[in-house]
Structure 1
């Protein structure tokens, strides 16, 4: 098939490194491409169609609005207010915050706790909420795990409270996927041909590319370039979690930012997992959960939940669900 292919690369010098190289069919005159920095990453918005300017403005506005609610680095966000009032007061929050927390609780149940937004105290302990990474003492980990309890998250109407001082939530494992869900609701309001939105480790493909299917290249976890490509037909959400996005190395061992809520330790069963789904929040949360669960349990849950995955173990050996097997092309040596 004769395809014009370009690579859309996110800037490396930001807090998170893109999990994807986007390979797509387009011409520069057809797509309006806009880059913004929000949700702690560079976001690339590519929209084609008559109303591409108005749609881009609407998408940008939605991203920034949701970031203001979910960003735990901003003291004015709903999440920060919930965390700052832990053990003290219930906080009234926006409807979108109630909705995303409810979806996070749903994912907690579906993944048997592997996805847990109350893991934030452990992330802070390991230094992933700042720049001072450290391997904590075993006693510190055991003490901090006591603050990881999703049952202490209380929702009454539009008010949210954490029961104990020191408890905290982090929506980083679901916020980008949820935001892409909201963007997908916006796009049909405009006269558009297609769009592709790249939010670091999360992508929305919308419509049909003018040359056929979308091609998504999965970043090699250990070196530059791609380790495989996925053919995506139509509108889908693609989310990747890996141990190369945020990590530090101490005494020759790599510690990544995805913490196992039950052990308090950074997950290390696999190096990368990509989820293809029809719901952005689900793919985002599940990619985190699958990284924690490892190969066997991930494949089992993926088949049960109706999502497709492709992952790579520590030796970069691929594994995938049957439904996506024919849509994946693994690079030689990958």
Structure 2
């Protein structure tokens, strides 16, 4: 089976890195390239090299001629340029998508591995519709108080877009390896009404059984590294094509930041390793989630809530989507 369709945004970034490398090997500055090709805007090359614009294959071909690229490089990079510009085909997978959700979906597509940490929220790829709706409604109130008006139907569009993104975790074939560290506080009663939290905990139990998903609950009083305190939520993305740059996304509430700088990425990889080491392992996390679900509903014993005995956990079959005995 062919691998998952690559992310257009990552194709653009990959193309930009390769074109910059060829220009530097050719010993040309950006100004020299603009002058020789005759482009009217000096920023055009900069946007292309930084992956911020949809590439025109003809422009890429002209650059490859100037840089003296060999036949193999031309074929590869023109193919990447085609994938980077093919938004129409890619967006068929996400017919309802706001611009913000689309940017996340573009980043996640084609991933081989995703690692996430969030100190206050359940990550978007794990959220139920009810939990997502509560989160979006509460954020909307802040925007309204700040004088910003949003379309009335945007909230439900955001919810459906978030659910569409989640199909990534169960796609066949080539679902990414997904690991998340969830702070214990994110699963507390402050996060939403009891029925919403119950549904969210139940879904986390089911997702934890997927063979490609690993969840870790981080107890509130555990020490991380040398008393390290992660300041914000972040996600790490590694792609199926090893030459596509690994990417870090930092969630800042109302502003998101992305980086492909290796030094910055490595820092967050170290932090994520510390978090995983300090958190409960996958088996203990599943037990914690089952017990938390039971406590919330008042059911007894907690270990039997919806999942059977804790000593005989269940596992979701990837081919059927059903929960079955391991």
TM-score by length of 2: 0.28
Q: Which has the higher strand share?
A: 1
Q: Which has the higher helix share?
A: 2
TM-score by length of 1: 0.27
The structure that has the greater radius of gyration is 2
